[in-house]
Structure 1
């Protein structure tokens, strides 16, 4: 049965790649709002994201492919690869930068295929879910697996070391550095917690690359022993299952990958405590949740 031609939704995406300047911006509630019109083709969807190959938007950005976070995840079932859409871009303007980008008034103007069934099904992490025992190769060229962290509160996130966007991987790694420093100030809590940054670019992010990247973010460089914070990547074969379970959508290849965000807090029992699907979480709040999960 053909779907309705019009779907209205709200996307929230904080992606520095769509700004006129690459410098980070503050998200001020007093920022002026700008609106633009965009047309484009849906490249991919998962449980809560849509990647759009958008036409050039005069005064906003050149033609580019970028992911948008769906505020209403249910709408993802209505958008399929190949669909062409029009939409209104809403963005907060702060000087020459744009932040808090979202799409409104989305209209499907050309449907790629009626009743399309996506080839890949993404899991949406939920509190109480048991996490599979995924295996990874860490910065010390050692195989680690998630089950080995049972008995500790584990905070994990996804990055790739070549990511150029200040609000994506760079922000996640800086946030983790803040979390690591805050936890270290409480030795008892430090012993009950662990951090894990997972790369979804295993071909490039070898143990040597991850060791250099991780040492830079901890601030200890070559002296870092990685006793509390691991940087690791799965094999190419296991990458799809890992990213699909944690709802990490990835498109592109080579040096630049478009991707969604996923940070997960896992309890001592190996079950999910909380999921943060964007870059809006604050280190101080996550540290408080880790402390609560540790029973400290």
Structure 2
């Protein structure tokens, strides 16, 4: 049986699949399986499990070091003590506790051994980085370039319209809707800013799909003119360059879903990065304050 590959992705802070039904390995209570996302450092490995110094997993456990069974033991040869990983935790709910805890979909985000060069290099967005002039096809079927927004403060995030996990793409879009509304209340600031939601699913997220999705989040539906907030996707052949620059990891999930990380970036009027938000924990009011500061 061929070994399933592990993907080495630089500086993934958060990774999760945008689908609600995981496919856990059979267990005595598979119907009660819960799925969480964990990040940590590999302490040791054996043939079927690893010991992980894991960070806190909300709703599951505090930060601690513990042993985890591997859903696919064949990946153990790709893991080494000192590697930092993200993974899905599958756990069966038994009353008030969890049993049969195992890891799957392991992603190495920092490798302890320097003898392996990853096939893909991900850039970590840093304050002062000049953003490349990526081109996108927006909800109106028009090609836009990031350079055309120089002179404005741009807030950009990455989503895909079929995402079903409320804390990921929908949360980003709701946050953007709040910020867009707040900016509209200040006409002078509104003219100095622009929002862009970038889909990393260009095959499905056509202009028609993006127009419907965007209109729903602005609340104007078919009457939306998209003068301040674009919903757009890069050409499929240019997608890897854009996701790698903004450190967005995307891998196929189940039922045409995508497992992905998050990336929201604030770009100043000169086209340079001001702030990067790699998780879903940022608050609209904090980002709005950063926008106002950049615009000033």
Q: Is the TM value for this pair above 0.5?
A: yes
Q: Which runs of 5+ in 1 are unaligned?
A: 1-40
Q: Structure 1 residue 112 and structure 2 residue 78: aligned? A: yes
Assess if the C-alpha contact under 8 Å between 1:199 and 1:205 holds in 2. yes
**Is 1:262 equivalent to 2:234 in the alignment?**
no
Contact (CA 8 Å) 1:153, 1:267: kept in 2 or not? yes
Matched residue, 2:134: 134
Once residues 152 and 45 of structure 1 are traced to their aligned partners in structure 2, the CA distance between those partners, rounded to angstroms, is 35
Q: What is the alpha-carbon distance in structure 1 between the residues aligned to residue 63 and residue 157 of structure 2?
A: 23
Equivalent residue number for residue 144 of structure 2: 144
Matched, 1:48 2:14: no
Matches within 5 A, 1:247-286: 247-252=247-252, 255-286=256-287
Matched, 1:162 2:162: yes
CA distance in 2, matches of 1:134, 1:85: 41
In structure 2, what is the equivalent of residue 195 of structure 1?
195
Residues 131-174 of structure 1 deviation map (CA, whole Å, 9 limit, x = unaligned): 00000000000000100000000000000000010000000000
For 2:120 and 2:166, how far apart are their aligned partners in 1?
29
Change (3 A) 1:84 1:205: farther
217-226 vs 41-50, greater mean Cα deviation: 41-50
- Given that residues 38 and 55 in structure 2 are in contact (C-alpha distance below 8 angstroms), is that contact kept between their aligned partners in structure 1? no
The SS at the match of 1:237 is helix
* CA RMSD after TM alignment: 3.4
- Provide the residue aligned with 1:92 in structure 2: 58
Is the 1:42–1:85 Cα contact (8 Å) retained in structure 2? Answer: no
Q: How far apart, CA to CA, are the structure 2 residues paired with 1:220 and 1:181? A: 12
- Number of positions where the alignment pairs a residue of Structure 1 with one of Structure 2: 241
Q: Which residue in 1 is equivalent to 2:291? A: 290
What is the CA distance between 1:44 and its match in structure 2?
Answer: 1.9
Gapped regions of structure 2 (runs ≥ 5)? 17-21, 80-112
Per-residue CA deviations over 1:214-237 (Å, capped at 9, x if unaligned) read: 000000000000000000000110
**For the Cα contact (< 8 Å) 2:158–2:200, is it kept in 1?**
yes
The TM-score with structure 1 as length reference comes to 0.71
Q: Compute the displacement of 1:112 (Å).
A: 2.4
What's the TM-score, normalizing by structure 2? 0.71
